[in-house]
Amino acid sequence: MSVNLFKGQTISLDQQAGGVLGLAGVGIGWYPVISRRFLGIALEAAKVELETACTLLDEGGRVIEEFCARQPGAGTAVVRHDGAHRLDNYEEFCIDLAHMPARVASLLLTVRSVGGADFSLVDTAYVRIADADSGSKVAYFTLPAGGRHNEQVMARLYRDGDGWLMHAIGAAGPKAVPAPASAAALARY
């Protein structure tokens, strides 16, 4: 059973999956602002280069490791950045929640500018969680992007006993996620 989340909502991923969600397919995508239309047909979209990131945090909000297109997964087999798929503006992670190391308290899912543009060129951003084994959609969160920020914090996955919860955030994020100084900024999510 899938649920469409709204900003600020928290759900149990296991409950939505109808059992333990061991292997999650996490897709993050965006739609650029349409800059030119003719008779209701989009002729030209804004040029914006974004990348997604999955940042593993410990209980104190300190960065353990980050995964993105430039760092697809050097140190662990529990998160893999699968890169862009059929759509130009969509990237996917495969996250093994069942084998996540105990020191990982939460995962922060973000999308950020790599070409210097801000989110005023992004119309909408979304995150989709699916059961990677069955392919069934578990949760979906979409929000209007826009704004002068360079990063959007989409959602946080975090432990709840033996299971995992998802909190839909949808807020402007810190620009430099991997920097040690950003750990305090990340902890607020």
Top-confidence residue, 80 or 12: 12
What is the identity of the amino acid at 70? R
Q: Cα(175)–Cα(173) distance, rounded to whole angstroms? A: 6
Predicted TM-score (pTM) of the model is: 0.83
Q: What angle do CA 122, 125, 126 make, to 5 degrees?
A: 170
pLDDT, average across residues 38-43: 55
What confidence score (pLDDT) does residue 97 get?
93
Report residue 182's pLDDT band, with 50, 70 and 90 as the boundaries: very low
Report residue 144's pLDDT band, with 50, 70 and 90 as the boundaries: confident
Distances (CA, A) of 87 to 40, 70, 156: 22, 18, 24
What confidence score (pLDDT) does residue 156 get?
93
What is the separation of C-alpha 160 from the centre of its chain, rounded to a whole number of angstroms? 19
Q: Domains in the chain, please, with CATH?
A: 3-187 (2.60.60.30)
Q: Which two tokens stand for residue 35?
A: 């800059």
Top-confidence residue, 151 or 180: 151
Report residue 113's pLDDT band, with 50, 70 and 90 as the boundaries: confident
SS3 percent helix, strand, coil of the chain, rounded to 5, is 10, 50, 40
Report residue 174's pLDDT band, with 50, 70 and 90 as the boundaries: low
What confidence score (pLDDT) does residue 35 get?
65
The neighbour count for residue 102, using CB atoms within 10 Å, is 6
